[in-house]
Structure 1
Amino acid sequence: MKTSFRTVAAIAAFCATMLASGAAMAASTTTNLSVTANVVSSCSVNSTTTLAFGAIAAGTLPINNNGSVTFTCSSGTPWFVTANNGSNASGSQPRMVSSGQYLSYNIYSDNGRTTAFPTALGTLGSGNTGGTGTGGQQTVTVYGQVPSQLLPPAGTYTDTVTLTINW
């Protein structure tokens, strides 16, 4: 039993030492950690919807439809959207192409289709083509029209317009 008593005494001594050292670590100090971030003026495109005119038959022109671009700009960032005249333009006239044949169309910044969509900075359209970032998603609608014209041969006509978000 002496061995057991010695073992118990050693364990008790060890626990007393640990408790004493824990009491010695009861003091503390504090410091501050700096946290920083630099939010920059920026915009990013979230999505686009196709400006699709659908089936065009004789006697149905003009045909109107809409497309859009949805983007996010940091809060307070001024933005402005411009468009080029597409991949198949003749001068400033946007055109869709199919097998070397063309179908003219126009894009506008307003639902009444009276103001051409801006193609250069500083020419604010009458629609929502410029503004200030909110930090959330914002959408600019592109109003399109295939005007009255002689219809080209049947086919699927396409074009690509580049929209640029400037900030």
Structure 2
Amino acid sequence: MNNTRSYAVALAAVPIVLLAQPAAAQDSTSGTMPVSATVLENCTVVSSAMAFGPITDVGASNVDSTATLTLTCTANASYEIQLDDGVNADSGQRRLANAGNDQFLNYDIYQNLARSTRWGDDLGIDTVSGSANVLGISTVTAYGRIPQGVAKVPAGLYADTITVTVNF
């Protein structure tokens, strides 16, 4: 005969705890975002004053002075500097004027130490050209002269204002 055995299996209720798992990665996509910048050439200019100082005998000899133009530009920017004839000019002659604007003292500004090349505002003709360095700095000297033989003028303060234009 067959022996049959019965087994009773007791199943205990075991709670099943599901721990929170990170959600499975979903599908993704990627793309690109263009980023750009446009750097424009730019320059600013600051000038020191051109002061001829006290003159005791106007016209007896040349009276020389200098001024420094400091340009702060975009690195390596090319520039061309124009100087107008000033607010007291007469027919292209630069003139310093006294406080009453009734007495004038002729002078001029030059591109070079020898004071042989006038500095003006005709682009490409009597202007000064150059390039800023890699830091964007350029220093240019303006050479002024009240020439020997100018007309005698009364004592007093004489002044003029020159407009400096930088083209870049």
Question: Does the pair score TM above 0.5?
Answer: yes
Checking the alignment, whether the CA contact within 8 Å between 1:48 and 1:67 is kept in structure 2 is: yes
Which amino acid in 2 is paired with 1:116?
R
Displaced runs of 4+ in structure 1, greater than 4 A?
27-31
When the two chains are superposed, the root-mean-square deviation of aligned CA atoms in Å is 2.6
Q: Report the counterpart of residue 110 of structure 1 in structure 2.
A: 112
Instruction: State percent identity of aligned pairs.
Output: 32
Q: Which residue number in structure 2 is paired with residue 86 of structure 1?
A: 86
Structure 1 gap segments, 5+ residues each: 1-12
- Superposed, 1:35-50 pairs within 5 Å as 35-45=35-45, 47-50=46-49
DSSP-derived class of the 1:141 partner: strand
CA distance in 1, matches of 2:51, 2:126: 24
Deviation at 1:74, TM superposition (A): 2.5
Residues 46-72 of structure 1, C-alpha deviation per residue, up to 9 Å, x if partnerless?
x11111111111166311110122113
Q: Mean Cα displacement is larger for which, 97-106 or 68-77?
A: 68-77
Q: What is the number of equivalent residue pairs in this alignment?
A: 147
Give the TM-score normalised by the residue count of structure 1: 0.75
Higher normalized helix content (fraction of residues):
1
Q: Show structure 2 runs of 5+ residues with no match.
A: 1-16
Q: Deviations over 1:105-137 (max 9, x none)?
A: 110000110110132101155xxx202343511
TM-score, length basis structure 2? 0.74
Q: CA deviation at 1:31?
A: 4.8
1:54-110 per-residue CA deviation (whole Å, 9 max, x = no partner) reads 111116631111012211333454311111111101111100101211111110000
Larger radius of gyration: 2
Task: Give the deviation of 1:32 after TM superposition.
Answer: 3.8
Q: In structure 1, what is the Cα distance between the partners aligned to 2:71 and 2:117?
A: 22
